[in-house]
């Protein structure tokens, strides 16, 4: 996990939960991966154990992690797929829909937007080839 400092203005427990979800999304934390304990987490990042516990509880409530009593917290088997689905929905409402509205407002035909996206993907595909 790569937290560094907590500084985005939101509560620390939310930043912790968001970082863990980001690690699940990018594959850093896979299905059934064990998280550090609340106390380990608190000591490592020098935060109150109650703050770490609140972050973990949020993740449990969201179905991202599960508890094994006396053992620890683990990433849920379907956590990545669940998070991907949530992010897909937000991507369209937060990114694509406003982009379409902006393109219309400044007179860019949607076909041009689609062409640009396709060209971008072609360039990325070419960069990935050996």
Tens digit of each residue's pLDDT (9 = 90 or more) over 5-58: 677 788 999 999 999 999 999 999 999 999 999 999 899 889 999 999 999 999
In this predicted structure, the answer to whether residue 59 has a pLDDT above a threshold of 60 is yes
pLDDT of residue 122: 92
Residue 4 lies in a domain: no
64 in the same domain as 44: yes
> pTM score, two decimals?
0.75
pLDDT of residue 4: 52
Contacts of 65 (CB under 8 A, 6+ apart): 20, 35, 56, 59, 73, 74, 75, 76, 79
**What is the residue range of 60's domain?**
12-77
64 in the same domain as 19: yes
53 in the same domain as 31: yes
Q: For residue 75, report the phi and psi dihedrals to the nearest 5 degrees.
A: -70, 135
Residue 29 lies in a domain: yes
Number of domains in the chain: 2
73 in the same domain as 84: no
What average pLDDT does the chain have? 92
């Amino acid at each position: 996990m790569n937290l560094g400092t907590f500084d985005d203005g939101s509560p620390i427990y939310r930043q912790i939960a968001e970082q863990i979800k980001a690690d699940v999304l990018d594959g850093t934390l896979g299905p059934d991966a064990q998280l550090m304990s609340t106390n380990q987490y608190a000591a490592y990042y020098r935060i109150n154990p109650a703050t770490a516990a609140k972050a973990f509880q949020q993740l449990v409530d969201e179905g991202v992690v599960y508890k094994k009593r006396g053992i620890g917290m683990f990433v849920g088997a379907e956590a990545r797929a669940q998070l991907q689905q949530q992010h897909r929905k937000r991507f369209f409402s937060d990114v694509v829909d406003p982009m379409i509205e902006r393109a219309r407002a400044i007179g860019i035909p949607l076909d041009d937007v689609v062409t640009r996206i396709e060209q971008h993907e072609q360039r990325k595909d070419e960069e990935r080839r050996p």
